[in-house]
Structure formats: C-alpha cells, structure tokens
Structure 1
Amino acid sequence: MMESRRRKFGLVVGVVVVLLVAIGVWFFLFAAKPKPKPPVTGEPVAAVAVKLQDVPVYIDALGTVTPTRSVTVVSQVSGILSTVEFKEGQHVRSGQVIARIDDRTLKAQLAQAKGVLAHDQAVLSNAQRDLARFRELIKIGSTSQQILDTQASLVQQQQGTVASDLGSAQNLEVQVGYCTITSPINGVVGLRLVDPGNYVTSASTTGIAVITQLDPATVVFSVPEDDLGTINQSMSRGAVTVLAYDRNKNALLATGSLLALDNQVDVSTGTIKVKAQFDGSGNKLFPNQFVNARLEADILKQTPVVPTMAIQHGSKGDFVLVVVGDKASLRIIKAGPSMGDVTAILDNGLKATDQVITEGADKLDDGSPVKVVAQ
C-alpha cells in the first residue's frame, strides 16, 4: 500500500513539474515579448488645390430703375375726347396716333379765318393797284403828293391786316392739328386715365395716359464716397460694367455700363449717386423697380483663390489649414473679395501648389496628422 501511494504521488509531482515547465516556456516565448504598437493613421480630410485666376472687385448697392423718358400725354386744346386709339400696356412708336379730340368747331373757325384772309388779301391787292396808278399820275401832275402818300399808308395797313389774318389761320391750323394726339416717344402706354366722351382741357395736368420709354433703362444707386477714387480710376480705363440682380441676388436681370456720377456727395449720408445704363434690357427692368446693382470697380489679376468653405475664423484672424506631407499646417491669411464659391487671398501666404483642407478641418489643429481621401 505504501509503495502504491508513493508511485501515485510521484506521478502527480511529475505532471505538475511538466505543467510548470510548459507555462514557463509559453511565458518566455509569447507573454514576455511586448505587443507592437498599431500604426498611427491621420484624420481623413478632403483637400483642394489653390488656383490662380482673375477676380473682379464689386461694389454692391441697392438701386432703383428709372425710365429714360416718361411723358404724360395731355391735351393742348379743349374739347370732347372722341376716340382713344391705344390699348393699355401697348408698345407705341413716336408719331403714332393715340387719341383724337372733336375738331369740328376748330375746323369751322379755321374756314372762317381763311375767308377773312382771302377778303383782306383782295382788298390789299386792289390798294396796291391804286398805289401803282397814283405813282404814274404823279409823274404827269394829275394827282397830289398827299393822295399818293395816303394810298401808300393804306397799302401798309392792309398788309398788316393780311399778316394778322394769316397768323390767325395758321394758329387755328395748329389747333386743329392738336386734336390728333400722337406719341412723342417710343415706349409703353400705361393705364388709360380718361375715357372717350369726357371733356378735356389744356389746363388739366392729369393727362390722357403716361408713356414710358423702357429701353434703354437706367438704374440709379448710391455708393460710399470712399469708393469714389476707385470708380474714377475704373472710368479712366474704359467702360465700367454694372450688373443688375433681383432682390434676392439670385437672378441676373441685365448687364450694362456706368453712365455718370453725380456732381456732389450727399453730406448727410456720405454717399454719391451713380447712374448706369442697360441697353436691350427689354421688360426685365421695370420703372421704379428695386434691384441690386453690382459695379465692377477693379479686377485682381491672377490672384490665389480658395473655396470659401475652407476659410475659418479665429482669434488671430482668418486662416486655412494646408496639407504639408501628412500633417495639417495652419496659415494666417487675408481674405479678399468673393466670386461665387471661391474667395481671393490678398496676401502671399498661399501658393498655387498648396492644398487647402475643405472638409474635416473642424477636428484638426496645427500639426495634426491627416490623410487626404478626396480631392
């Protein structure tokens, strides 16, 4: 029994020793070696290369469309408005008949004036023949000088009467012509202000209709007096482009050019009025319409531009993050005018070979590891 127990004990001890040796070998081969560190991966970002292009410098202002000419058509004679020969909103040409006034009374007066003129012309002709006969008789002594002088004065009086009659007839002809009202300009007729059958007078200021010339249209807007020098320099180089946008600055309505500057600055607002002309604008610019005017004051030649979304704002000013190798580098910049989705950089902090980070920059600092995953 004792020998059997000794054998079992020896067997147990041997198994334990083998297990301890196996554990020691495993620990030496595997557990004692340090685990390798995982490779460092950068923050995924999207980057865009810096571009060089011409960037226009605009001066924005709120403007009002003003017609080139706006005429209120009034009657120059008094009478019944017999017909109105236009449709509201119609395009009319210069000289086109738009209304007629009853002219029968004036035509009767004209006929009477022409009759008086014919009578006085006959009297003048007879007096001139008598004067010619008296001049012949004075040569042979058959009449006196007094009679000849009296006849000469009579002829002059009759000439004055004929001239007066002729003026009266011509005046009535003009009055009759006024009964046919024509358009003085090319434009669009507004709403009718007087209906046919009404009695109109030359003293009325309401008029029959208002005709507005829409093309070319002009826009008047105010700019700060600080921009006056820049605008004058642009005008000295040639025509200055002006763009007219709608209220939301989304739709471009028309493209024109700077026409004139006002001759003085408004001291109460510190601004100066500017007028621009838009040829061929059609119905896109309507009188008294409010538009957003953009005056192209200058052009920055071959200036670095970056997407506007890449520019961030900090306590030290505007900055962008540039990809340098596999890290992000912070660059302080001076942002200039914007054009669409890009913004010009006015200083020399960026080159055309640089790549600026547009997405993922909110998680980065100067020197942070990055990995460009999208261009």
Structure 2
Amino acid sequence: MRIQKKTVLLVVLLVALAALVLWFVLKPVTAKPGAPTAVPVRTVSVVQQDVPRFASGIGTVLSLHSVVIRPQIDGILTRLLVKEGQLVKKGDLLATIDDRSIRASLDQARAQLGESQAQLAVAQVNLKRYKLLSVDDGVSKQTYDQQQALVNQLKATAQGNQAAIDSAQVQLSYTQIRSPVSGRVGIRNVDEGNFLRTSDAEGLFTVTQIDPIAVEFSLPQQMLPTLQRLIAAPEQALVKAYIGADGTTGELLGEGRLSLIDNQINANTGTLRAKAEFNNAAQRLWPGQLVTLKIQTAIDKDALVVPPTVVQRGLEQHFVYRIKGDKVESVPVVMVYQDSDLHIIKGVNAGDQLVSDGQSRLKPGSHIQVLSDPPALAKTAEPQP
C-alpha cells in the first residue's frame, strides 16, 4: 500500500515537472524596450517672395466690333473680293454691285448742270446789259427785275443739278462695299450674281474684330470696392484668361487689362459686370468662347509662402510641423491668403523646414526620417523599327 502511494506521488511530481518545463519552453519572450521608430516624412522650406492675389470669374469672349455687311442700295452682286475667314483691314474693298444705272444717272445730272450753267451765263450777261440801260431808262425797271429773277432761277436750277450729281455720286459709292472695321470675314450668305436688297436681314457676311478682343464677366457685388480701386489705379489691373472651369488646371489663353465696370449691379443675381481687353494676335480667344478669368487684385510683398499640403487644421487654429533636429514641433500659424497653388502664412520664418507629407503619423516630439524626392520615372525605350 505504501509502495502504491509512493508510485502515485512520483507520477504527480513527474507530471508537474513536465508541465513546468513546457511552460518555460512556450513562455513568450518580452522584447526589450528600444529606440522609438522614426516616422518617414517629406519637407519643404518656407519661401519669402512677392505673391499676387487673384479673384476668379467666368466670362464670355466678345468682339470689340462685329459688323453685318449689308447693301445700301438694291442691285446685282457682281464681285466678291474676299474669302470666308480672310483677315481684312478697315477700308478694304469687299464686294461690288452693278453700277451701270447709277453711272447713267450721274452722267445725266452732269449734263443738266452744264445746260443750266450755260443758260445762267447768258442770263447774267443780259442782266449786266439791262443794268447799264436802266440808268438812262433804256429798259424799263420791270424788264430789269424780270431778268434778275431769271438769273436767280437759273442759279437755283444749277444748284439742284449739283445736288443731283452729289446724290448720284453717293449712290455710286454704295456700289463698292468696303469694310468698316478691321477683322475676320465670316461665312457668306450670298454668291456673285444674286440680287441684293437693302431689306435683306442676313446681309452678305459679317466682319468681326479679333485683335484686340474683350472678355465680359461677372463678379459678386462685394468686389465693387476692389474693382473701383483697380479702375482708379494708374496702371490697369492684370487679367488672365484660361480655358476650362478651373484657372489652375486650364490652359492660359492670354493676358489682358481690366478696362471698365458696369454702371449698375444686377439686383436679381447680386453680381456686377466688368470687361477686360486682350491683345489677341495669336487668335487664341474667340468670340462667344467661355473662359475662366483671374484678376490680380493685390500683391503681398515679401510673403512667407508654403505649399497647401503643409498647413494642418487643428481644433482652434491652423498649425504646421517644423523640423527641430531629428524631431518635429507643432507651430501655430495664421492663414493670410490661400489658393490651390500656395498658402501665405504668419508664425514661421523664411528658410524653416516644414513637413509637407506624412503629418498623419506625427505628434509634437515625434522622431522623423526625412525622405528624399522620389526619382524621376525613366522613359520607356521606344521600340526600334
């Protein structure tokens, strides 16, 4: 019996020893505390420079002069001297109308003037003779007065003939259609040989001035004091026109100057119309085109500039992470101006290194590892022919 008890006790001790050995073998190893892990970040330097401020709006390109070329007399179109899309200058001959009937009327008026002038010359000679004879009562005063009236009548007839000549010359000038402005010829509505009427609404074609050109746009009425200041400035404000709805991503079409603001605000929309003029030698701005405008409203001198990704928004204010050795510190800043390209801030110094990427893993005092810019992608070799 005692032997059995000893045997059981020995088995229990062996099991306990085996469990203890197994626990030591499977016990997790506690890692020794080491240096904190550095957070990878990218940095930029605070730049000090002059920064122009802009206000944006949507505008429509308008021609400064667009003229529908219409005939001023009825007649057959004999020649078209320009092509569609051709650039013409003011005074260039565009088309001609049949002028034979008008020339015949002009010749007739000139002949009638010559006849009246000849009759007037004879009447004036007789008037001088009657005047001398009236002194000695060689002719009656009635005869003299009648001759004076005839001279006056013939003078009036000659003046009427001259007026007829002038009128015919004006009508003759209408047979040569000249461009009233410099611009580009549009799509024509008639061909040579058509009979033109002054009542035709469409006209022959249009001539639209392309260079210079204007852009009309609208801004909120709150911009009125700013626009008035810009208009009154010695130098006209710079205006940039972009294609597309976003001036930061669209293609720059041209740079112009603010020229005028409208004399009233639209009460329905609360907006104010304004106009800018652009030199358009390259013809990148086209009448009727919708563009995005950016108007330079001011310039911040020696501003502290950072990319938009640098500034973080806290619960109460904006802040940035500034590099201090191998750590970062949180610095509160004041946002002076912001757009999609840059931010102007106060609270840091020019040349300070600020974190531009990786802020989500940072807190004041975090250790950092500054990453270099990613290498440029190598160009894929073109297949050899």
Q: Which residue, out of 66, 90, 96, partners 1:94?
A: 90
Which of residues 238, 241, 253 in structure 2 aligns to 1:241? Answer: 238
2:266 aligns to what SS in structure 1? coil
Distance in structure 1 (CA, Å) of the matches to 2:278 and 2:365: 53
Q: C-alpha separation between the residues in 1 aligned to 2:53 and 2:222?
A: 15
Q: Pick one of 118, 135, 142 that aligns with 2:138.
A: 142
Please tell me whether the aligned partners of residues 53 and 300 of structure 2 are also in contact (alpha carbons under 8 angstroms).
yes
> Residues 78 and 97 of structure 2 are in contact (CA less than 8 Å); yes or no, is this contact kept in structure 1?
yes
Q: Give the C-alpha shift of residue 153 in structure 1.
A: 1.0
- The alpha-carbon deviation at position 233 of structure 1 amounts to 2.8
Alignment match, 2:224: 228
The Cα RMSD (Å) is 2.0
Q: What stretches of structure 1 of length at least 5 have no aligned partner? A: 1-33
Instruction: Go from structure 1 to structure 2 and tell me whether the alpha carbon gap of 1:137 and 1:200 turns closer, same or farther (over 3 Å shift).
Output: same
2:285 and 2:31 mapped to 1: Cα distance? 75
The letter for the 2-side match of 1:364 is L
CA drift of 1:121 comes to: 1.4
> Please, which of 346, 352, 355 is the counterpart of residue 353 of structure 2?
355
Q: Name 1:273's counterpart in structure 2.
A: 273
Q: Partners of 1:337 and 1:214 in 2: how far apart?
A: 36
Letter in 2 for 1:238: E
Q: Secondary structure at the match of 2:134?
A: helix
- Whole-Å Cα distance in 2 between the matches of residues 353 and 121 of structure 1? 94
Residues 81 and 237 of structure 1, relative CA distance in 2, 3 Å threshold: closer
Matched position secondary structure for 1:163: helix
- In 2, the alpha carbon distance for the partners of 1:329 and 1:118 equals 104
- Secondary structure at the counterpart of residue 151 of structure 2: helix
Deviation for aligned residue 1:365: 2.5
CA contact (8 A) 1:234 1:298 kept: no
Q: Offset at 1:322? A: 2.0
In 1, Cα distance between equivalents of 2:194 and 2:234: 57
8 Å CA contact 1:254–1:281 kept in 2: the answer is no
Q: What stretches of structure 2 of length at least 5 have no aligned partner?
A: 1-29, 374-385
Q: Distance in 2 between matches of 1:108 and 1:36?
A: 118
**For residue 290 of structure 1, what is the aligned residue in structure 2?**
290
| Aligned equivalent of 1:319 | 319
**Residue in 2 aligned with 1:257?**
257
Q: Output one character per residue of 1:237-279: Cα deviation in whole Å (capped at 9) or x when no partner.
A: 5221111111153211111111111122222222211111112
Using the TM superposition, give the Cα deviation of residue 231 of structure 1 relative to its aligned residue in structure 2, in angstroms. 2.7
Please show how residues 301-340 of structure 1 align to structure 2 within 5 Å: 301-338=301-338
Larger Rg: 1
Cα distance in structure 2, aligned partners of 1:224 and 1:339: 18
Distance 2:229 2:89 in 1: 39
Residue by residue, what CA displacement relative to the aligned partner does 1:195-226 show, whole Å, maximum 9, x if unpaired?
12111122323211100111111111111121
Q: Normalising to structure 2: TM-score of the pair?
A: 0.83
Q: Structure 1 residue 93: deviation in Å?
A: 1.4
